[in-house]
Amino acid sequence: MSVFKYERDTDGIVTVTMDMTGPVNSMNDEYDVAMGETIEKLEAEQGLAGVIFASAKKVFFAGGNIKDLLAIEKGQEGVMMDRLNAGKAQLRRLEKLPVPVVAAINGAALGGGFEICLACNHRIAYNHKSVQIGLPEVSLGLLPGGGGIVRMVSLLGLQSALPLLVEGKKLVPEKALAAGMIHEVVASLEELVPRAKAYILSVKGDESAAVQPWDVKGFKIPGGKASDPANSQILPVATTMLFKQTRGLMPAPAEILDCAVQAATVGFDAAMKIESRGLAHLVTTPEAKNLITTFFFGLNKINAGSSRPEGQEKNLTKKVGILGAGMMGQGIAYVSAMAGIAVVLKDISQESADKGKAYSQKLLDKSVAKGRMTQEKRDQVLALIKPTAENEDLRGCDLIIEAVFENVELKHKITQELEPFLAENGVWGSNTSTLPITILAEGSKNPDNFIGIHFFSPVDKMPLVEIICGEKTSDEALAKAFDFTQQIRKIPIVVNDSVGFFTSRTFGTYLDEGARLIHEGLHPIKIDNLGKAIGMPVGPLTITDETSQQLQYKANATWEEMGLDMGDRSLTMEIVNLMVEEHDRGGRHHGGGYYDWSESGKTVWPVIIEKYYKPEVALPDQDVKDRLLFRQVIESLKCLEEGVLRTVVDGNIGSVMGIGAPMWTGGFIQFVNTYGIQRFSDRCAELEASYGERFKAPAIVAAKLAAGETFAS
């Protein structure tokens, strides 16, 4: 029995309901057979009035089989081309049927799923936020290879199609309708197939309803060919903007742009072949391997709860207390209320607490003004936040998150004072970025229920939460923190305790290497530009100013006072002390740092040039780039080796979403896999010989080489 259910009604309309083996419909060997058999049967039908493609799954069609794509290696491009051409030939036969074909989109139709829809003459979608429509292959370092680029350009024109393709936008049905990607929406699932049948009957006898626009004689692409004046003017701008966004490090967007331009230049069939060649190339690139490994398999693994302790029942938070209504606390309050959790936002004064709540009001008002939220919903969310200076208001919280200054004594004092207000079996979380949880838990009467919950700023935008387990943290507390993180729609990674944990510890090496390069005499602008050249969001000196030297200064004093070892940071601290102690420069928002900051931009602080810059110093650019990247990769590997990182996937997701690791790497550990473990070891040895022991490859690298293994997730 075929996994495509085939039903013909008395009106001559065939409904093909896709119900493939497994949880979703996807393009694999089973699909190839089912689609081939279905098309043959449709082509042989007599008195056929129309065809409807529907789905028995919650997702209409999930797209290509990513596992198969990941297995394609260099030298197998021809195999990939044959596979793509065969799949395209099937869809071409589908759209050449002499009757209208309708896609009844009941759930997400992304990638290959939407490419099937594009091969249909008419597209109707259930108008619900769970239904997403688009071609997001670029996010995995790929391009739509089932005719998606060619048909989108032919359907919408080059200018309208480009943003949807290059950015991989996923649209809800109403926006897809406005963009011209679908033709209709219906209000309920029950209306979907009946409406599709009604459409087919309404165009009965109209032969044009069965012909795709690009198959009509004399067809012209909306907006004209790529060489037409309007398009030829925007293409140089698009190319420049694309390079600015990717810095030439992500091949997929550039390949998509090229294929789209070709689709608006050559004929339909030739453009299809160009598109296939593009995907056959991209699927073998290390960038695609990295993105697929981390952002498809890795992220799905985390979201499925791979880092959550087994055997623990779901423990959702009903009432959360947040201590400290500053930048971090107010952000945590906002995301918690948005998730429907009752929030007690406590500070030392009612005025400070009210100011913290005002942050949420500002964000909510902005959403209402942009039409993203109703006034009623805004009022409901805001009502969940209770600003207070009273301890008693915390009573009954099943989770309290302390978000005060990075001071151990202060944190101990607050824990001892307010922990009694927790509900029975309630969990205490500390939002600290560096201080060991085991030490902070010494202020608790219940260290089993004490855990680190490290948010990133700004909380409302940053997707990651780093959960840190102390020596005594229980599985129950970890499950509670994990569930809360998912409840507020964040991505949790779980790490073990150390100074700086994983993210802050690794991120600190980027800042430290920037300071070392200053000491060696490089110009600050060059250092920052080379940091961006490897794909970091900003250069190491700029981000030091943004996170503030003042914070580093205070943190270092705390670490020294506690006798904590953060490694050799003497050169960094020399500069920090110069700025903070001698010149009262604590960072961008504290008098300046490496740069003088103004509304018009930034300029290098002259003292840095006078004291450190040596024009005669000429380090190879590749060495500088590798130093800035490899320091972070090496530290990530050390965290894995020492057990700070529990899993490779937590390290990869954490490094990209928490630290800003270049997307093309797939995360600092995944980078080593496609760079080549032997090659990585050799390059570390070269850097160590030239620049110092900090570049020595951790022992775990040699162990993987000896075992013939990679750093698998």
d(CA 541, CA 551): 14
What are the residues facing 319 on neighbouring strands? Answer: 342
Residue type, 255: E
**The dihedral formed by the CA atoms of 358, 364, 365 and 371, expressed in degrees to the nearest 10:** 180
* Contacts of 3 by beta carbon, 8 Å cutoff, 6+ apart: 18, 19, 20, 21, 30, 34
For β-strands 385-388 and 397-402, DSSP reports them as unpaired
> So which residues are the catalytic ones?
115, 137
The number of residues making up the chain comes to 713
Asked whether the beta carbons of 687 and 694 are under 8 A apart, the reply is: no
**H/E element, 355:** helix 350-369
d(CA 32, CA 504): 48
Task: Assign 72 to helix, strand or coil.
Answer: coil
Measured over the CA atoms of residue 442, residue 443, residue 449 and residue 451, the dihedral's sign is negative
Q: Give the Å distances, CA to CA, from 62 to 23, 53, 180, 527, 622.
A: 10, 14, 21, 43, 40
Exposed / middle / buried, residue 519 (Cβ in 10 Å: 0-12, 13-18, 19+): middle
Nearest in space to 212 (alpha carbons), one of 96, 123, 54: 96
Instruction: Match 């948010």 to its residue by tokens.
Output: 455
Asked whether the beta carbons of 698 and 645 are under 8 A apart, the reply is: no
d(CA 301, CA 289): 16
Nearest in space to 634 (alpha carbons), one of 702, 568, 580, 694: 694
**The dihedral formed by the CA atoms of 164, 165, 171 and 175, expressed in degrees to the nearest 10:** 30
* Contacts of 226 by beta carbon, 8 Å cutoff, 6+ apart: 158, 232, 235, 261, 262, 264, 265
Q: Residue 119: what are its φ and ψ, rounded to 5°? A: -80, -5
Residues of 613-646 as b/e, b for ≥16 C-beta within 10 angstroms?
Answer: beeeeebeeeebbbbbbbbbbbbbbbbbeeebbb
Nearest in space to 577 (alpha carbons), one of 561, 560, 598, 556: 556
What are the residues facing 186 on neighbouring strands? Answer: 126
d(CA 60, CA 463): 27
d(CA 4, CA 385): 50
Asked whether the beta carbons of 83 and 128 are under 8 A apart, the reply is: no
d(CA 408, CA 432): 10
Measured over the CA atoms of residue 371, residue 372, residue 375 and residue 376, the dihedral's sign is positive
What are the residues facing 345 on neighbouring strands? Answer: 322, 387
What are the residues facing 126 on neighbouring strands? Answer: 186
Tokens in use for 78? 């021809």
**H/E element, 402:** strand 397-402
Q: Residue 207: what are its φ and ψ, rounded to 5°? A: -60, -30
